[in-house]
Structure 1
């Protein structure tokens, strides 16, 4: 499969690019970015061609991989899907429900494949653990806490990200939390949210059938207090999964590429990305009440 990479930031350089260049099932044809010099640099790093026009790159490939802020990803994804290109997208799918729905509608109309890279769902150990908890059932409650230190630690490559500054932990690490809570506890029927220090958001969710869950989401935790914790409690006792990603992000992204190449739809497609966006938007609205 011939793939074009849209995006030239740290995530593209550290994760998307290396995985695409190394994967035996795809050819990384070209790279486009908002800054031509960055596109040239990333393309040279991975043996691809820099493109000065996104649509020209879309026309030259079978699929696009997008590593851009959500408000830029969504319209480019619509253009690519409309052109009949398969989509390997990042989370969150979009910055608004309207934009996320436009992507899902374009994918459905064009009948193309889509995968949204919810990182933990492509981490082998984590996905197998989630499958065991979903099969066990009878969970009373759960929690998924993401204490990120992007803006409080020194030297984070993502600290200069304007969209993360604007949208905060709710939109950056909230998708991680929802991606592990929903497959185990079911869809969300009720959303409550309150603010903590910095960009911290506390979520309280009700799920189909009655279970509840909570999530603490932030990018401004003190570095010494940063970390991830996922836990479910119920009839079977307590199931805990700490520290988040067990393997590397590049390895997880390689499995996302595998999912795009597979003939069967993946649970983390644009429809799931849309649902996560809807829940995030509901939480944002609850913060304003």
Structure 2
């Protein structure tokens, strides 16, 4: 499968481009970016072509991997699907519910496969744990924490990008937490509560269709010593925690494998654009509550 990369930022440079070049079943056909000089540099590093025009790249490939801010991703994903390209998307799918719906509609109408790269869902140990807990059932409560220090201190992370500064932890790491909780505890009937914590930290309470409730704590401005991700479930089977381990490159390789499989057999992936839309709907609902709380 010929695949192109849309984006030249830190995630594209550190993870996407190396994975696409190394993948045995992919032909890394080219790069397009909003900064042509960055696209030229990244393409030269990985022995591929830099495209000046995104539509030219879309006409030359079978699929695209996207490493762009969510509002830009949504617009280009619609164009890519319209050009018949399968979609390997980043989370969140879009910055608005309307944008995410457009991505789902475009992918459905074009009958292209889509996989959203919720990183934890593609870590082998975590993926096995999620499937096992979903089969076990009987969960009473869940608690997820995703705490980063992207905007903490004088030395900011390369991921301290403008869209993260604007949208905060809710939209950046919130999708990770939801991507783990939903397949285990079921869809969310209602975001029961949402409250602000220190800096950009937010706390959510979720009511799931299974009858379980969960709490979520998210931050991009935690003290460095407090950072990390953790999910704990408690129920009739006792208590269990999400295993740690794995790396982003390995997870993206698995996501690419699963996009290939979905494109081949036509079966929707559990982390497809429709699931990405549901996550976006929950983020928007939480954002509405947070805005009300701030008033």
User: So what's the TM-score if we normalise by structure 1?
Assistant: 0.97
For residues 164-185 of structure 1, give each alpha carbon's deviation from its aligned partner in whole angstroms, at most 9, with x where no partner exists: 0000000000000000000000
Give, in whole Å, the separation in 2 of the partners of 1:239 and 1:37.
Answer: 48
- Equivalent residue number for residue 194 of structure 2: 193
Give, in whole Å, the separation in 2 of the partners of 1:72 and 1:155.
Answer: 23
Q: Secondary structure at the match of 1:220?
A: coil
- Equivalent residue number for residue 158 of structure 2: 157
Q: Secondary structure at the match of 2:242?
A: strand
Shift of 1:209: 2.8
- Spell out structure 1 runs of 4+ moving beyond 2 A: none
Give, in whole Å, the separation in 2 of the partners of 1:213 and 1:26.
Answer: 39
Q: Secondary structure at the match of 1:94?
A: coil
- Equivalent residue number for residue 167 of structure 1: 167
**1:1-289 counterparts in 2 under 5 A?**
1-152=1-152, 154=155, 156-159=157-160, 161-191=161-191, 192-241=193-242, 243=244, 246-262=245-261, 263=265, 264-289=267-292
Q: How many residues align?
A: 286
Give, in whole Å, the separation in 1 of the partners of 2:59 and 2:194.
Answer: 42
For residues 95-153 of structure 1, give each alpha carbon's deviation from its aligned partner in whole angstroms, at most 9, with x where no partner exists: 00000000000001010000000000000000001111111000001011001111115
User: So what's the TM-score if we normalise by structure 2?
Assistant: 0.95
Give, in whole Å, the separation in 1 of the partners of 2:74 and 2:156.
Answer: 29
For residues 192-224 of structure 1, give each alpha carbon's deviation from its aligned partner in whole angstroms, at most 9, with x where no partner exists: 211011110101000003110010001000001
Give, in whole Å, the separation in 2 of the partners of 1:123 and 1:173.
Answer: 16
Q: Secondary structure at the match of 2:216?
A: strand
Show structure 1 runs of 5+ residues with no match.
none
Q: CA-atom RMSD, angstroms? A: 0.9
Shift of 1:268: 0.3
Show structure 2 runs of 5+ residues with no match.
none
